[in-house]
Amino acid sequence: MTSATAPTPPSAEGADGDLARLSLNTATTKALTLAEAVDAAVRAGLPAVGLWRDRVQEAGVEKAARLVADAGLRVSSLCRGGFLTAADDAGIAAALEDNRAAIVEAATLGTRELVFVVGGLPAATAPGGPAAPYPADVDPARDLVATRQRVADRIADLVPFAQEHDVRLVLEPLHPMFAADRAVISTLGQALDLAAPFPPGTVGVVVDTYHVWWDPDLERQVARAGAEGRIASYQVCDWSLPLAADALLSRGYMGDGYVDFASITRWVAAAGYTGDVEVEIFNQGIWDQPADDVVATVAERYRRHVLPFL
């Protein structure tokens, strides 16, 4: 049964069959409510949505699950868990509590894939914020090695709970410019090393073109991820210049920047990945465009720059 505002999605066998793996990540249409984003995806003939927790929580988790299911869509992933780098007991407890809640949300929404942004250094006052002042000549809050070890420890803490709920923790390496404040894991190889102690059905990785396109070892690490059965998501958008004042908002439509989608998509396909392809764009100019225009452009650029190489 479809929702009152959304038409029945077209069959993947019909004219829109070439969109059968395309998923709209709701970050791309940030101004829309969850219901509005779902309707936009349906109108464009997309079969899936990648959800962010803020919109899910705004709607209510149970209602969000019904909205997506009634529209005939699937949830390709939930974003985000993570921020696991706290060094104090209260911070560790809060992170574990929030991530357990995220695991339950993912299970309720019907997706196995919970994307993790692992968190930056404790010296970061906030994502995108200034560094805390040095308290002394040596500051543990700037210790990358110790911070990465805490990420490993927290993943180990969360794995049993994730297994109980049949949810996979999906580690996302972020571009090195975000290492200070958002993710101390910068390469796909680092993410795979963190995942290695755990079953691939419980800890996987996401290949996000914006974050990994620059990596000289990317082809080998994508092949490794495929051989280990750990590719849980493929996210695409472009690296655009000049960087925005907030570098987080420098993503663009595929084809507007510097990413070699043909090569990376071929590598992901050769690695055996057959799941959804999410378009996740943070860009104020794109957020300010009419949603139907945005989703239509997403579909057109996917057809041109990604689909031929899957």
Q: Give pLDDT, residue 167.
A: 98
Q: Give pLDDT, residue 137.
A: 86
The dihedral region occupied by 82, where left means phi > 0, alpha psi between -120 and 50, and beta the remainder, is left
Q: 17-309, what's its fold? A: TIM Barrel (3.20.20)
Q: Are 230 and 200 in contact (CB under 8 A)?
A: yes
* pTM flag (> 0.85): yes
Q: Give pLDDT, residue 203.
A: 98
Q: Give pLDDT, residue 39.
A: 98
Q: Residue ranges of the domains in the chain?
A: 17-309
**What one-character-per-residue DSSP string does the chain give?**
---TTSPPPPPTTSTTGGGTTEEEEGGGGTTS-HHHHHHHHHHTT--EEEEEHHHHHHH-HHHHHHHHHHTT-EEEEEEEEE-----SHHHHHHHHHHHHHHHHHHHHHT-SEEEEE-B--TTBSSTTPPBPPPSSSS-GGG-HHHHHHHHHHHHHHHHHHHHHTT-EEEE----GGGTTTTBS--SHHHHHHHHTTS-TTTEEEEEEHHHHTT-TTHHHHHHHHHHTT-EEEEEE-EE-SSPPSSGGG-EE-TTSSS--HHHHHHHHHHTT--S-EEE----HHHHTS-HHHHHHHHHHHHHHHTGGG-
**Mind listing the pLDDT tens digit of every residue in the chain (310 residues)?**
233 333 333 333 333 679 999 999 999 999 999 999 999 999 999 999 999 999 999 999 999 999 999 999 999 999 999 999 999 999 999 999 999 999 999 999 999 999 999 999 999 999 999 999 998 889 999 999 999 999 999 999 999 999 999 999 999 999 999 999 999 999 999 999 999 999 999 999 999 999 999 999 999 999 999 999 999 999 999 999 999 999 999 999 999 999 999 999 999 999 999 999 999 999 999 999 999 999 999 999 999 999 999 9
